[in-house]
A and B are shown apart, each in its own frame.
Chain A
Protein backbone atom coordinates (compact mmCIF):
# COMPACT_ATOMS: atom_id res chain seq x y z
CA UNK A 1 0.00 0.00 0.00
CA UNK A 2 1.52 3.30 -1.13
CA UNK A 3 -1.30 5.31 0.43
CA UNK A 4 0.61 5.99 3.65
CA UNK A 5 3.80 7.50 2.16
CA UNK A 6 1.72 9.65 -0.21
CA UNK A 7 -0.54 10.77 2.64
CA UNK A 8 2.39 11.61 4.88
CA UNK A 9 4.05 13.52 2.07
CA UNK A 10 0.86 15.50 1.45
CA UNK A 11 0.66 16.31 5.13
CA UNK A 12 4.28 17.42 5.04
CA UNK A 13 3.49 19.70 2.10
CA UNK A 14 0.80 21.57 4.03
CA UNK A 15 2.87 21.54 7.21
CA UNK A 16 5.55 23.45 5.27
CA UNK A 17 3.08 25.83 3.65
CA UNK A 18 3.35 29.27 5.17
CA UNK A 19 -0.09 30.36 3.89
CA UNK A 20 -1.68 27.76 6.13
CA UNK A 21 0.03 29.14 9.20
CA UNK A 22 -1.14 32.64 8.36
CA UNK A 23 -4.68 31.36 8.10
CA UNK A 24 -4.43 29.59 11.43
CA UNK A 25 -3.03 32.70 13.09
CA UNK A 26 -5.94 34.67 11.69
CA UNK A 27 -8.51 32.24 13.04
CA UNK A 28 -6.87 32.22 16.44
CA UNK A 29 -6.84 36.03 16.49
CA UNK A 30 -10.54 35.94 15.68
CA UNK A 31 -11.13 33.59 18.58
CA UNK A 32 -9.23 35.93 20.89
CA UNK A 33 -11.33 38.82 19.56
CA UNK A 34 -14.46 36.85 20.45
CA UNK A 35 -13.44 37.06 24.11
CA UNK A 36 -13.40 40.85 23.84
CA UNK A 37 -16.76 40.85 22.08
CA UNK A 38 -18.11 38.52 24.74
CA UNK A 39 -17.07 41.05 27.39
CA UNK A 40 -19.15 43.71 25.69
CA UNK A 41 -22.26 41.53 25.51
CA UNK A 42 -22.61 41.03 29.24
CA UNK A 43 -23.79 37.57 30.24
CA UNK A 44 -23.44 36.20 26.73
CA UNK A 45 -19.68 35.60 26.78
CA UNK A 46 -19.82 31.83 26.49
CA UNK A 47 -22.40 31.89 23.74
CA UNK A 48 -20.51 34.46 21.71
CA UNK A 49 -17.13 32.76 22.06
CA UNK A 50 -18.61 29.41 21.00
CA UNK A 51 -20.69 30.91 18.20
CA UNK A 52 -17.89 32.94 16.72
CA UNK A 53 -15.17 30.37 17.36
CA UNK A 54 -16.96 27.39 15.82
CA UNK A 55 -18.31 29.49 12.94
CA UNK A 56 -14.82 30.78 12.11
CA UNK A 57 -13.55 27.21 12.32
CA UNK A 58 -16.23 26.12 9.84
CA UNK A 59 -15.70 28.94 7.36
CA UNK A 60 -11.92 28.75 7.29
CA UNK A 61 -11.98 24.98 7.38
CA UNK A 62 -14.33 24.84 4.41
CA UNK A 63 -12.22 27.30 2.44
CA UNK A 64 -9.14 25.26 3.26
CA UNK A 65 -10.72 21.97 2.28
CA UNK A 66 -12.10 23.34 -0.98
CA UNK A 67 -8.98 25.12 -2.17
CA UNK A 68 -6.43 22.63 -0.90
CA UNK A 69 -8.70 19.75 -1.96
CA UNK A 70 -8.80 21.03 -5.52
CA UNK A 71 -5.05 21.59 -5.53
CA UNK A 72 -4.38 18.02 -4.38
CA UNK A 73 -4.67 16.55 -7.83
CA UNK A 74 -4.82 19.49 -10.23
CA UNK A 75 -1.55 20.98 -8.97
CA UNK A 76 0.26 17.68 -9.46
CA UNK A 77 -1.08 17.43 -12.99
CA UNK A 78 -0.20 21.01 -13.81
CA UNK A 79 3.39 20.92 -12.63
CA UNK A 80 4.04 17.42 -13.90
CA UNK A 81 4.75 15.76 -10.57
CA UNK A 82 2.15 13.17 -11.51
CA UNK A 83 4.50 11.81 -14.20
CA UNK A 84 7.00 10.87 -11.58
CA UNK A 85 4.41 9.18 -9.36
CA UNK A 86 2.71 7.17 -12.10
CA UNK A 87 6.01 5.79 -13.41
CA UNK A 88 6.51 4.21 -9.99
CA UNK A 89 4.68 1.08 -8.84
CA UNK A 90 1.70 3.09 -7.59
CA UNK A 91 -1.95 2.58 -8.53
CA UNK A 92 -3.83 5.69 -9.54
CA UNK A 93 -6.40 4.91 -6.87
CA UNK A 94 -3.66 4.74 -4.27
CA UNK A 95 -2.48 8.16 -5.36
CA UNK A 96 -5.99 9.64 -4.98
CA UNK A 97 -6.56 8.05 -1.60
CA UNK A 98 -3.11 8.99 -0.32
CA UNK A 99 -3.63 12.60 -1.33
CA UNK A 100 -7.08 12.66 0.27
CA UNK A 101 -6.05 11.17 3.59
CA UNK A 102 -3.00 13.42 3.71
CA UNK A 103 -5.20 16.50 3.52
CA UNK A 104 -7.61 14.99 6.07
CA UNK A 105 -4.70 14.64 8.45
CA UNK A 106 -3.87 18.31 7.91
CA UNK A 107 -7.50 19.27 8.50
CA UNK A 108 -7.62 17.11 11.60
CA UNK A 109 -4.56 18.76 13.11
CA UNK A 110 -5.79 22.26 12.30
CA UNK A 111 -9.29 21.46 13.65
CA UNK A 112 -7.74 20.28 16.90
CA UNK A 113 -5.64 23.45 17.11
CA UNK A 114 -8.67 25.68 16.47
CA UNK A 115 -10.89 23.81 18.94
CA UNK A 116 -8.11 24.02 21.51
CA UNK A 117 -7.89 27.76 20.89
CA UNK A 118 -11.64 28.12 21.51
CA UNK A 119 -11.33 26.05 24.67
CA UNK A 120 -8.49 28.30 25.80
CA UNK A 121 -10.58 31.40 25.08
CA UNK A 122 -13.44 29.93 27.14
CA UNK A 123 -11.15 29.08 30.05
CA UNK A 124 -9.98 32.67 30.00
CA UNK A 125 -13.48 34.12 29.64
CA UNK A 126 -14.96 31.91 32.38
CA UNK A 127 -11.94 32.20 34.63
CA UNK A 128 -11.60 28.44 35.12
CA UNK A 129 -12.76 25.09 33.83
CA UNK A 130 -16.40 24.59 32.98
CA UNK A 131 -18.57 22.02 31.21
CA UNK A 132 -19.00 24.40 28.28
CA UNK A 133 -15.36 23.86 27.40
CA UNK A 134 -16.02 20.14 26.79
CA UNK A 135 -19.34 20.63 25.05
CA UNK A 136 -17.70 22.23 22.06
CA UNK A 137 -15.57 19.22 21.18
CA UNK A 138 -18.44 17.07 19.85
CA UNK A 139 -19.52 20.06 17.76
CA UNK A 140 -15.92 20.46 16.55
CA UNK A 141 -15.86 16.78 15.55
CA UNK A 142 -18.99 17.36 13.46
CA UNK A 143 -17.31 20.34 11.79
CA UNK A 144 -14.27 18.19 11.04
CA UNK A 145 -16.56 15.61 9.40
CA UNK A 146 -18.10 18.36 7.29
CA UNK A 147 -14.61 19.43 6.19
CA UNK A 148 -13.67 15.89 5.16
CA UNK A 149 -16.84 15.67 3.08
CA UNK A 150 -16.09 18.99 1.39
CA UNK A 151 -12.53 17.83 0.68
CA UNK A 152 -13.84 14.69 -1.02
CA UNK A 153 -16.29 16.78 -3.05
CA UNK A 154 -13.55 19.23 -4.10
CA UNK A 155 -11.25 16.34 -5.02
CA UNK A 156 -14.00 14.76 -7.09
CA UNK A 157 -14.62 17.95 -9.05
CA UNK A 158 -10.93 18.57 -9.64
CA UNK A 159 -10.68 15.13 -11.28
CA UNK A 160 -12.68 16.28 -14.29
CA UNK A 161 -12.78 20.04 -14.35
CA UNK A 162 -10.50 23.07 -14.17
CA UNK A 163 -9.45 24.38 -10.75
CA UNK A 164 -11.51 27.57 -11.06
CA UNK A 165 -14.68 25.73 -12.07
CA UNK A 166 -14.08 23.10 -9.41
CA UNK A 167 -13.89 25.81 -6.76
CA UNK A 168 -17.15 27.28 -7.98
CA UNK A 169 -18.90 23.89 -8.04
CA UNK A 170 -17.59 22.99 -4.61
CA UNK A 171 -18.77 26.30 -3.13
CA UNK A 172 -22.20 25.77 -4.68
CA UNK A 173 -22.36 22.27 -3.27
CA UNK A 174 -21.46 23.68 0.12
CA UNK A 175 -24.28 26.23 -0.03
CA UNK A 176 -26.85 23.74 -1.27
CA UNK A 177 -25.64 21.19 1.25
CA UNK A 178 -26.28 23.70 4.00
CA UNK A 179 -29.81 24.25 2.69
CA UNK A 180 -30.54 20.54 2.48
CA UNK A 181 -33.47 20.73 4.96
CA UNK A 182 -35.22 23.06 2.53
CA UNK A 183 -34.60 20.56 -0.22
CA UNK A 184 -36.22 17.93 1.95
CA UNK A 185 -39.21 20.15 2.73
CA UNK A 186 -39.52 20.81 -0.95
CA UNK A 187 -39.38 17.08 -1.64
CA UNK A 188 -42.18 16.48 0.84
CA UNK A 189 -44.53 19.32 0.07
CA UNK A 190 -44.44 19.67 -3.70
CA UNK A 191 -47.59 18.72 -5.56
CA UNK A 192 -45.79 17.41 -8.59
CA UNK A 193 -44.58 13.83 -8.33
CA UNK A 194 -41.71 14.60 -10.69
CA UNK A 195 -40.50 17.53 -8.60
CA UNK A 196 -40.80 15.39 -5.48
CA UNK A 197 -38.73 12.62 -7.05
CA UNK A 198 -36.05 14.98 -8.33
CA UNK A 199 -35.69 16.89 -5.08
CA UNK A 200 -35.66 13.66 -3.10
CA UNK A 201 -32.87 12.32 -5.35
CA UNK A 202 -30.93 15.57 -4.98
CA UNK A 203 -31.43 15.45 -1.23
CA UNK A 204 -29.68 12.10 -1.11
CA UNK A 205 -27.12 12.82 -3.81
CA UNK A 206 -25.83 16.12 -2.42
CA UNK A 207 -24.03 16.12 0.92
CA UNK A 208 -26.37 16.88 3.80
CA UNK A 209 -24.18 19.43 5.50
CA UNK A 210 -26.88 20.93 7.73
CA UNK A 211 -26.57 17.73 9.79
CA UNK A 212 -23.12 18.74 10.87
CA UNK A 213 -24.06 22.18 12.09
CA UNK A 214 -24.50 21.96 15.83
CA UNK A 215 -22.99 25.34 16.62
CA UNK A 216 -26.14 27.14 17.75
CA UNK A 217 -27.29 24.29 19.98
CA UNK A 218 -23.84 24.03 21.50
CA UNK A 219 -23.82 27.76 22.17
CA UNK A 220 -27.17 27.35 23.95
CA UNK A 221 -25.74 24.69 26.22
CA UNK A 222 -26.83 21.52 24.49
CA UNK A 223 -24.46 18.60 23.99
CA UNK A 224 -24.67 16.76 20.71
CA UNK A 225 -26.26 13.38 21.56
CA UNK A 226 -23.99 10.40 20.88
CA UNK A 227 -26.58 8.84 18.57
CA UNK A 228 -26.43 11.93 16.40
CA UNK A 229 -22.63 11.92 16.43
CA UNK A 230 -22.55 8.24 15.50
CA UNK A 231 -25.18 8.66 12.79
CA UNK A 232 -23.36 11.60 11.28
CA UNK A 233 -20.03 9.80 11.41
CA UNK A 234 -21.48 6.79 9.59
CA UNK A 235 -23.13 9.10 7.06
CA UNK A 236 -19.88 11.00 6.47
CA UNK A 237 -17.84 7.82 6.01
CA UNK A 238 -20.34 6.42 3.49
CA UNK A 239 -20.67 9.67 1.59
CA UNK A 240 -16.89 10.15 1.43
CA UNK A 241 -16.40 6.56 0.26
CA UNK A 242 -18.92 7.14 -2.53
CA UNK A 243 -17.28 10.44 -3.56
CA UNK A 244 -13.82 8.90 -3.55
CA UNK A 245 -15.03 5.91 -5.58
CA UNK A 246 -16.40 8.35 -8.16
CA UNK A 247 -13.14 10.33 -8.12
CA UNK A 248 -11.08 7.17 -8.61
CA UNK A 249 -13.40 6.05 -11.40
CA UNK A 250 -12.81 9.30 -13.29
CA UNK A 251 -9.14 9.62 -12.43
CA UNK A 252 -8.39 6.07 -13.60
CA UNK A 253 -9.61 6.90 -17.07
CA UNK A 254 -7.99 10.25 -17.40
CA UNK A 255 -5.18 11.15 -19.79
CA UNK A 256 -2.47 13.61 -18.81
CA UNK A 257 -1.12 15.54 -21.71
Chain B
Protein backbone atom coordinates (compact mmCIF):
# COMPACT_ATOMS: atom_id res chain seq x y z
CA UNK B 1 0.00 0.00 0.00
CA UNK B 2 1.30 3.41 -0.90
CA UNK B 3 1.42 5.97 1.89
CA UNK B 4 0.30 8.82 -0.33
CA UNK B 5 -1.89 8.16 -3.36
CA UNK B 6 -2.81 11.00 -5.65
CA UNK B 7 -5.10 10.24 -8.56
CA UNK B 8 -6.00 12.64 -11.35
CA UNK B 9 -5.92 15.53 -8.94
CA UNK B 10 -7.09 18.72 -10.65
CA UNK B 11 -7.59 22.17 -9.21
CA UNK B 12 -9.12 25.13 -10.98
CA UNK B 13 -9.11 28.63 -9.57
CA UNK B 14 -11.48 31.30 -10.66
CA UNK B 15 -9.86 34.66 -11.09
CA UNK B 16 -11.21 38.04 -12.04
CA UNK B 17 -14.14 39.74 -10.44
CA UNK B 18 -16.41 40.68 -13.31
CA UNK B 19 -15.45 38.22 -15.96
CA UNK B 20 -14.52 35.08 -14.16
CA UNK B 21 -12.14 32.75 -15.88
CA UNK B 22 -10.64 29.49 -14.83
CA UNK B 23 -6.98 28.98 -14.21
CA UNK B 24 -5.87 25.40 -13.89
CA UNK B 25 -3.37 25.27 -11.06
CA UNK B 26 -3.09 21.52 -11.08
CA UNK B 27 -3.81 19.26 -14.02
CA UNK B 28 -4.54 15.55 -13.50
CA UNK B 29 -1.69 14.88 -11.12
CA UNK B 30 -0.90 11.21 -10.43
CA UNK B 31 1.62 10.31 -7.76
CA UNK B 32 2.39 7.53 -5.34
CA UNK B 33 4.74 7.79 -2.42
CA UNK B 34 5.78 4.55 -0.76
CA UNK B 35 6.41 3.92 2.92
CA UNK B 36 9.82 5.00 4.16
CA UNK B 37 10.63 7.14 1.14
CA UNK B 38 11.96 10.67 1.08
CA UNK B 39 10.07 12.06 -1.87
CA UNK B 40 11.01 15.38 -3.41
CA UNK B 41 8.36 17.49 -5.06
CA UNK B 42 10.05 19.91 -7.39
CA UNK B 43 9.16 22.70 -9.68
CA UNK B 44 9.56 26.42 -10.23
CA UNK B 45 7.39 28.88 -8.31
CA UNK B 46 3.76 28.61 -9.32
CA UNK B 47 4.10 25.05 -10.58
CA UNK B 48 1.32 23.76 -8.31
CA UNK B 49 3.33 22.39 -5.42
CA UNK B 50 1.63 24.43 -2.73
CA UNK B 51 -1.77 23.80 -4.32
CA UNK B 52 -1.13 20.06 -3.97
CA UNK B 53 -0.22 20.52 -0.32
CA UNK B 54 -3.31 22.62 0.29
CA UNK B 55 -5.52 19.91 -1.14
CA UNK B 56 -3.80 17.27 0.96
CA UNK B 57 -4.22 19.50 4.04
CA UNK B 58 -7.97 20.13 3.46
CA UNK B 59 -7.54 23.80 2.66
CA UNK B 60 -8.88 23.30 -0.86
CA UNK B 61 -11.42 20.87 -2.21
CA UNK B 62 -10.11 19.55 -5.52
CA UNK B 63 -12.06 20.27 -8.68
CA UNK B 64 -11.55 16.67 -9.75
CA UNK B 65 -9.64 13.58 -8.74
CA UNK B 66 -8.89 12.31 -5.29
CA UNK B 67 -6.11 11.61 -2.86
CA UNK B 68 -5.59 9.27 0.06
CA UNK B 69 -3.05 9.34 2.85
CA UNK B 70 -2.26 6.10 4.68
CA UNK B 71 -5.07 4.55 2.69
CA UNK B 72 -7.67 6.93 4.19
CA UNK B 73 -9.66 9.76 2.61
CA UNK B 74 -8.35 13.25 3.36
CA UNK B 75 -11.05 14.08 5.92
CA UNK B 76 -10.33 11.08 8.12
CA UNK B 77 -9.42 12.45 11.55
CA UNK B 78 -7.64 9.33 12.78
CA UNK B 79 -5.36 9.51 9.77
CA UNK B 80 -4.77 13.22 10.52
CA UNK B 81 -3.42 12.27 13.94
CA UNK B 82 -0.71 10.21 12.23
CA UNK B 83 0.69 12.90 9.93
CA UNK B 84 2.59 16.15 10.34
CA UNK B 85 2.66 19.26 8.14
CA UNK B 86 4.92 22.27 7.82
CA UNK B 87 3.19 25.05 5.83
CA UNK B 88 5.06 27.02 3.20
CA UNK B 89 4.62 30.34 4.96
CA UNK B 90 4.67 29.37 8.59
CA UNK B 91 2.58 31.79 10.58
CA UNK B 92 1.83 30.77 14.07
CA UNK B 93 0.09 32.59 16.86
CA UNK B 94 2.62 35.25 17.66
CA UNK B 95 1.21 35.87 21.12
CA UNK B 96 2.29 32.39 22.22
CA UNK B 97 5.71 31.27 23.32
CA UNK B 98 7.29 28.45 21.33
CA UNK B 99 6.58 26.05 24.16
CA UNK B 100 2.93 27.10 24.54
CA UNK B 101 2.47 26.80 20.81
CA UNK B 102 3.80 23.25 20.72
CA UNK B 103 1.66 22.23 23.69
CA UNK B 104 -1.39 23.72 21.94
CA UNK B 105 -0.58 21.75 18.77
CA UNK B 106 -0.20 18.66 20.94
CA UNK B 107 -3.67 19.25 22.39
CA UNK B 108 -5.09 19.48 18.87
CA UNK B 109 -3.52 16.06 18.20
CA UNK B 110 -5.17 14.57 21.31
CA UNK B 111 -1.94 14.37 23.25
CA UNK B 112 -2.43 14.41 27.02
CA UNK B 113 -1.07 17.61 28.53
CA UNK B 114 1.92 16.18 30.35
CA UNK B 115 3.02 14.14 27.34
CA UNK B 116 2.63 17.16 25.07
CA UNK B 117 4.78 19.22 27.43
CA UNK B 118 7.48 16.56 27.52
CA UNK B 119 7.41 16.15 23.76
CA UNK B 120 7.53 19.92 23.25
CA UNK B 121 10.68 20.21 25.35
CA UNK B 122 12.36 17.36 23.42
CA UNK B 123 11.48 18.81 20.05
CA UNK B 124 12.59 22.33 20.95
CA UNK B 125 15.92 20.80 21.83
CA UNK B 126 16.04 18.84 18.56
CA UNK B 127 15.42 21.89 16.38
CA UNK B 128 17.82 24.02 18.42
CA UNK B 129 15.26 26.34 20.03
CA UNK B 130 15.58 25.33 23.67
CA UNK B 131 17.13 28.70 24.51
CA UNK B 132 14.15 30.56 23.03
CA UNK B 133 11.49 28.13 24.26
CA UNK B 134 9.75 30.72 26.42
CA UNK B 135 10.10 33.65 24.07
CA UNK B 136 7.02 34.89 22.25
CA UNK B 137 6.86 33.82 18.62
CA UNK B 138 6.47 37.46 17.57
CA UNK B 139 10.14 37.92 18.44
CA UNK B 140 11.24 34.99 16.29
CA UNK B 141 13.24 35.42 13.08
CA UNK B 142 12.08 33.70 9.92
CA UNK B 143 14.56 30.89 10.44
CA UNK B 144 13.46 30.38 14.02
CA UNK B 145 9.82 30.25 12.93
CA UNK B 146 10.75 27.65 10.37
CA UNK B 147 12.34 25.58 13.13
CA UNK B 148 9.30 26.02 15.35
CA UNK B 149 7.18 24.94 12.38
CA UNK B 150 9.23 21.82 11.96
CA UNK B 151 8.85 21.07 15.66
CA UNK B 152 5.05 21.43 15.56
CA UNK B 153 4.87 19.12 12.56
CA UNK B 154 6.60 16.48 14.66
CA UNK B 155 4.61 16.98 17.87
CA UNK B 156 2.49 13.85 17.36
CA UNK B 157 5.44 11.69 16.22
CA UNK B 158 3.86 11.34 12.77
CA UNK B 159 4.34 8.47 10.38
CA UNK B 160 4.17 10.75 7.37
CA UNK B 161 5.59 14.24 7.14
CA UNK B 162 4.53 16.88 4.64
CA UNK B 163 7.04 19.69 4.37
CA UNK B 164 6.30 22.60 2.06
CA UNK B 165 9.62 24.33 1.30
CA UNK B 166 11.23 23.29 4.58
CA UNK B 167 14.59 24.85 3.72
CA UNK B 168 13.41 28.31 2.77
CA UNK B 169 14.39 30.97 5.25
CA UNK B 170 17.08 28.86 6.85
CA UNK B 171 20.72 29.93 6.90
CA UNK B 172 23.37 27.45 5.68
CA UNK B 173 23.83 26.07 9.18
CA UNK B 174 20.11 25.69 9.70
CA UNK B 175 19.86 23.97 6.36
CA UNK B 176 22.45 21.43 7.30
CA UNK B 177 20.67 20.81 10.58
CA UNK B 178 17.36 20.38 8.80
CA UNK B 179 18.97 17.95 6.38
CA UNK B 180 20.34 15.97 9.29
CA UNK B 181 16.93 15.99 10.96
CA UNK B 182 15.29 14.67 7.81
CA UNK B 183 17.96 11.97 7.41
CA UNK B 184 17.40 11.04 11.03
CA UNK B 185 13.62 10.79 10.54
CA UNK B 186 14.11 8.68 7.47
CA UNK B 187 16.37 6.35 9.42
CA UNK B 188 13.45 5.90 11.84
CA UNK B 189 11.24 4.76 8.99
CA UNK B 190 9.17 7.93 8.46
CA UNK B 191 7.84 8.80 5.06
CA UNK B 192 8.68 12.34 4.01
CA UNK B 193 7.03 14.26 1.21
CA UNK B 194 8.62 17.62 0.68
CA UNK B 195 8.66 20.35 -1.88
CA UNK B 196 11.51 22.55 -2.82
CA UNK B 197 12.95 24.59 -5.57
CA UNK B 198 16.42 24.39 -4.11
CA UNK B 199 17.89 21.57 -6.13
CA UNK B 200 21.01 20.82 -4.15
CA UNK B 201 18.89 19.97 -1.11
CA UNK B 202 16.81 17.62 -3.17
CA UNK B 203 19.80 15.92 -4.78
CA UNK B 204 21.33 15.31 -1.38
CA UNK B 205 18.26 13.83 0.29
CA UNK B 206 15.67 12.34 -2.00
CA UNK B 207 15.02 8.75 -3.00
CA UNK B 208 12.60 9.76 -5.67
CA UNK B 209 11.38 13.03 -7.07
CA UNK B 210 8.49 14.35 -9.08
CA UNK B 211 8.96 17.43 -11.21
CA UNK B 212 6.02 19.71 -11.75
CA UNK B 213 5.65 22.60 -14.14
CA UNK B 214 2.56 24.71 -14.72
CA UNK B 215 0.38 22.23 -12.92
CA UNK B 216 1.52 19.22 -14.88
CA UNK B 217 3.79 16.38 -13.92
CA UNK B 218 6.87 16.58 -16.13
CA UNK B 219 8.79 13.61 -14.83
CA UNK B 220 8.96 11.36 -11.82
CA UNK B 221 11.24 8.60 -10.66
CA UNK B 222 14.66 7.97 -9.13
CA UNK B 223 17.06 10.85 -9.55
CA UNK B 224 19.59 8.57 -11.25
CA UNK B 225 16.94 7.61 -13.80
CA UNK B 226 15.81 11.12 -14.49
CA UNK B 227 19.24 12.66 -14.83
CA UNK B 228 20.95 11.33 -17.90
CA UNK B 229 24.41 9.93 -17.49
CA UNK B 230 26.25 10.93 -20.58
CA UNK B 231 27.66 7.60 -21.78
CA UNK B 232 31.28 7.31 -20.66
CA UNK B 233 32.18 10.95 -20.41
CA UNK B 234 34.55 12.00 -17.68
CA UNK B 235 34.90 15.35 -16.02
CA UNK B 236 38.32 16.30 -14.67
CA UNK B 237 39.25 19.34 -12.62
CA UNK B 238 42.83 20.53 -12.66
CA UNK B 239 44.75 23.38 -11.04
CA UNK B 240 47.98 25.31 -11.63
CA UNK B 241 47.84 25.35 -15.38
CA UNK B 242 48.70 28.13 -17.82
CA UNK B 243 47.36 29.17 -21.21
CA UNK B 244 49.82 26.95 -23.00
CA UNK B 245 48.62 23.86 -21.19
CA UNK B 246 44.99 24.81 -21.80
CA UNK B 247 45.71 24.95 -25.49
CA UNK B 248 47.25 21.49 -25.30
CA UNK B 249 44.25 20.16 -23.42
CA UNK B 250 41.86 21.56 -25.98
CA UNK B 251 43.52 19.35 -28.58
CA UNK B 252 41.90 16.21 -27.21
CA UNK B 253 39.26 17.26 -24.64
CA UNK B 254 35.60 17.73 -25.66
CA UNK B 255 35.36 20.95 -23.73
CA UNK B 256 37.73 23.02 -21.58
CA UNK B 257 36.47 25.70 -19.23
CA UNK B 258 38.99 27.88 -17.36
CA UNK B 259 38.24 28.27 -13.63
CA UNK B 260 39.89 30.67 -11.16
CA UNK B 261 42.12 27.86 -9.87
CA UNK B 262 42.75 26.14 -13.16
CA UNK B 263 40.32 24.46 -15.51
CA UNK B 264 37.53 21.94 -15.91
CA UNK B 265 37.83 19.54 -18.83
CA UNK B 266 35.31 17.13 -20.27
CA UNK B 267 36.88 14.01 -21.77
CA UNK B 268 35.35 11.55 -24.17
CA UNK B 269 36.31 8.50 -22.11
CA UNK B 270 38.62 7.33 -19.33
CA UNK B 271 41.24 6.44 -21.93
CA UNK B 272 42.12 10.14 -22.19
CA UNK B 273 42.98 10.42 -18.50
CA UNK B 274 46.55 9.21 -19.01
CA UNK B 275 47.19 11.88 -21.61
CA UNK B 276 45.70 14.54 -19.40
CA UNK B 277 47.95 13.53 -16.51
CA UNK B 278 50.97 13.63 -18.76
CA UNK B 279 50.21 17.16 -19.95
CA UNK B 280 49.62 18.65 -16.52
CA UNK B 281 52.55 16.97 -14.81
CA UNK B 282 54.73 18.47 -17.44
CA UNK B 283 53.63 21.93 -16.39
CA UNK B 284 53.71 21.19 -12.61
CA UNK B 285 49.94 21.35 -12.47
CA UNK B 286 47.74 19.24 -10.17
CA UNK B 287 44.80 16.92 -10.76
CA UNK B 288 41.99 17.90 -8.34
CA UNK B 289 39.22 15.44 -9.22
CA UNK B 290 38.00 12.98 -11.83
CA UNK B 291 34.30 12.08 -12.02
CA UNK B 292 31.89 10.44 -14.42
CA UNK B 293 30.02 13.39 -15.95
CA UNK B 294 26.40 13.47 -14.79
CA UNK B 295 23.71 15.93 -15.60
CA UNK B 296 22.76 18.09 -12.64
CA UNK B 297 19.19 18.90 -11.71
CA UNK B 298 19.85 22.43 -12.84
CA UNK B 299 20.74 21.14 -16.27
CA UNK B 300 17.61 19.06 -16.28
CA UNK B 301 15.49 22.06 -15.34
CA UNK B 302 17.05 24.16 -18.01
CA UNK B 303 16.56 21.45 -20.59
CA UNK B 304 13.05 20.32 -19.74
CA UNK B 305 11.33 23.32 -18.28
CA UNK B 306 13.32 26.01 -20.04
CA UNK B 307 12.51 24.28 -23.31
CA UNK B 308 8.80 24.28 -22.56
CA UNK B 309 8.55 28.00 -22.19
| Contact present between A and B (CB < 8 A) | yes
Where the two chains meet, the residues of A that have a C-beta atom closer than 8 Å to any C-beta of B are 2, 5-6, 9, 12-13, 16-17, 79-92, 253, 255-257
Check A86/B58 contact, CB under 8 A, given A5-B107, A9-B104, A80-B87. Answer: yes
A85-B85 Cα distance, complex, nearest whole Å: 10
Where the two chains meet, the residues of B that have a C-beta atom closer than 8 Å to any C-beta of A are 13, 54, 57-61, 77-78, 80-81, 83-85, 87, 89-93, 95-96, 100, 104-105, 107-110, 152, 162
Contacts of A9 in B (CB 8 A): 93, 96, 104
What's the nearest-Cβ distance from chain A to residue B182, in Å? 18
Identify which of A13, A84, A85, A89 contacts B81 (C-beta below 8 A). Answer: A89
Contact across chains for A84 and B85 when beta carbons are under 8 A apart = yes
Contacts of B92 in A (CB 8 A): 81, 84
Contacts of A85 in B (CB 8 A): 108
Contacts of B89 in A (CB 8 A): 80
A16-B95 Cα distance, complex, nearest whole Å: 7
Contact across chains for A88 and B91 when beta carbons are under 8 A apart = no
Contacts of A84 in B (CB 8 A): 85, 87, 90-92, 105, 152
Contact across chains for B87 and A13 when beta carbons are under 8 A apart = no
Check A86/B95 contact, CB under 8 A, given A5-B104, A80-B87. Answer: no
Other 5 A-B pairs with CB < 8 A, given A86-B59, A87-B57: A5-B108, A12-B95, A83-B85, A255-B59, A255-B60
User: For residue B56, which residue of chain A has the nearest CB?
Assistant: A87
A5-B78 Cα distance, complex, nearest whole Å: 18
Contacts of A17 in B (CB 8 A): 95
What's the nearest-Cβ distance from chain B to residue A78, in Å? 9
Contact across chains for A256 and B108 when beta carbons are under 8 A apart = no
Contact across chains for B13 and A88 when beta carbons are under 8 A apart = no
Contact across chains for B83 and A87 when beta carbons are under 8 A apart = yes
Would you mind naming 5 contact pairs between A and B with Cβ atoms under 8 Å apart? A9-B96, A16-B95, A81-B92, A83-B54, A87-B57
Contact across chains for B57 and A86 when beta carbons are under 8 A apart = yes
Contact across chains for B107 and A256 when beta carbons are under 8 A apart = no
Contact across chains for B59 and A82 when beta carbons are under 8 A apart = yes
Contact across chains for A89 and B77 when beta carbons are under 8 A apart = yes
Check A255/B108 contact, CB under 8 A, given A84-B85, A87-B83, A89-B77. Answer: no
What's the nearest-Cβ distance from chain A to residue B171, in Å? 23
User: For residue B116, which residue of chain A has the nearest CB?
Assistant: A5
A12-B87 Cα distance, complex, nearest whole Å: 23
Check A83/B13 contact, CB under 8 A, given A16-B95, A88-B105, A91-B77. Answer: no
Contact across chains for B60 and A89 when beta carbons are under 8 A apart = no
Contacts of B84 in A (CB 8 A): 87
Contact across chains for B57 and A2 when beta carbons are under 8 A apart = no
Contact across chains for B108 and A89 when beta carbons are under 8 A apart = yes
Contact across chains for B60 and A256 when beta carbons are under 8 A apart = yes
A89-B158 Cα distance, complex, nearest whole Å: 12
Which residue among A9, A89, A92 has the maximum number of chain B CB atoms within 10 Å of its CB? A89
Check A83/B95 contact, CB under 8 A, given A89-B78, A89-B109. Answer: no
